Chain A
Amino acid sequence: MNTKTLPLKDRIAVDAAHRVAPAVLALLFGGFLILGVGFAQPSTLHNAAHDGRHALAFPCH
């Protein structure tokens, strides 16, 4: 969309709306990865990520 003809206030609003959905999606995906690598309880995941968990100072064991 060409937003250059809109007043500044509306341009900022369009810009924000355009940003929010992808940003929130990125936050959810990032949170999912961190919980999986650093916090998931199943012992297979724990053992695979063991040294990384310790070195990144996640609570372990």
Chain B
Amino acid sequence: MFGRIFLTALAAGLLSGIFIWGAHSIKTTPLILAAEVYENQGEAVGDGLHQVSPAAPAAEEKEWGPADGFERNAYTLLSDVLASIGFAFLLTGVIALSGRHVDWRQGIVWGLCGFAAFFVSPSLGLPPELPGMQAAELSARQAWWLSTAAAAIAGLALIALQDRTVLRWAGAGLIVLPHLVGAPHPEIAPGALPAELAAQFAATTLVVTGLFWMVLGGLTGYFYNRFERS
């Protein structure tokens, strides 16, 4: 069983990590680079919203960051693949715990649940950020994001993986709860970043991440089913 989970998560995570890196390189990284131009302009006049700024020599001397171009893309590939393998282990772990049969079709549905828990629900409170966007204090946002994702996972499990009606309602309540509490937000003041860039980034990440979870779920279902026989 351990080998089956390990091989499934590794294969599905690696392939979908390469897929999302390709999609990021074509669709989202250009938007991030465009946003950094405005972000660095803001820093030049003393508006320190951002810690990393590959174009700002002062910041580069202080801390390491990959050089723009090949090196930066290589590190994005590494982080995309590692995040994807991480998501794949979570997905395979939950599928194994559920004890249910999956093939690639059901895998896509499992993947869409991952999309709901790790993108849709957190993004409703904390939309995908471009560099230079105004945001509340980092650890508060991270805590809200992680709690919201965890509540969505628990809620979806209560709705889909057990049969008691009361617990199903409790699951729905759990998904909604972080949104009633509300995500941490700063007072928004006029900023340098064009709204068009931010809107494009939000829509692009929604589509790219949705496709990623369908690919990851489909591959997880396929390999999990395939490795059962081997």
Q: Interface of A with B (CB < 8 Å)? A: 15-16, 18-27, 29-34, 36-39, 41, 43-44, 46-61
Contact = CB atoms under 8 A, between A and B. Distances in A.
Contact of A57 (B50, B86, B128): B128
Contacts of A25: 2, 93
19 contacts: A15-B99, A19-B97, A21-B2, A26-B89, A26-B96, A27-B90, A31-B90, A33-B82, A33-B83, A47-B52, A48-B65, A51-B29, A51-B32, A55-B20, A55-B209, A57-B119, A57-B126, A57-B127, A61-B49
Nearest to A30: B89
A61 B64 CA distance: 15
Which of B6, B24, B86, B138 is most buried by chain A, counting CB atoms within 10 A of its CB?
B86
B75 A49 contact: yes
Interface string B48-68: 011110000000000111100
Interface string B152-172: 000000000000000000000
A22 B129 contact: no
Contact of B93 (A24, A44, A53): A24
Interface residues of B, number: 57
B199 interface: no
Interface stretch (B101-109, B140-148, B189-197): B140-148
Given A29-B89, A39-B142, A55-B28, 10 more contacts: A22-B1, A23-B93, A25-B2, A26-B93, A30-B89, A30-B93, A52-B83, A54-B130, A59-B135, A61-B135
A48 B66 contact: yes
A28 B51 CA distance: 30
Contacts of A31: 86, 90
A41 B145 CA distance: 15
Contacts of B50: 61
Contacts of B52: 43, 46-47, 50, 61
Contacts of B75: 48-51
Contacts of B141: 59
Interface string B174-209: 000000000000000000000000000000010011
A18 B96 CA distance: 10
B111 interface: no
Contacts of A50: 52, 65, 75-76
Interface in B99-134: 99, 119, 122-123, 126-131
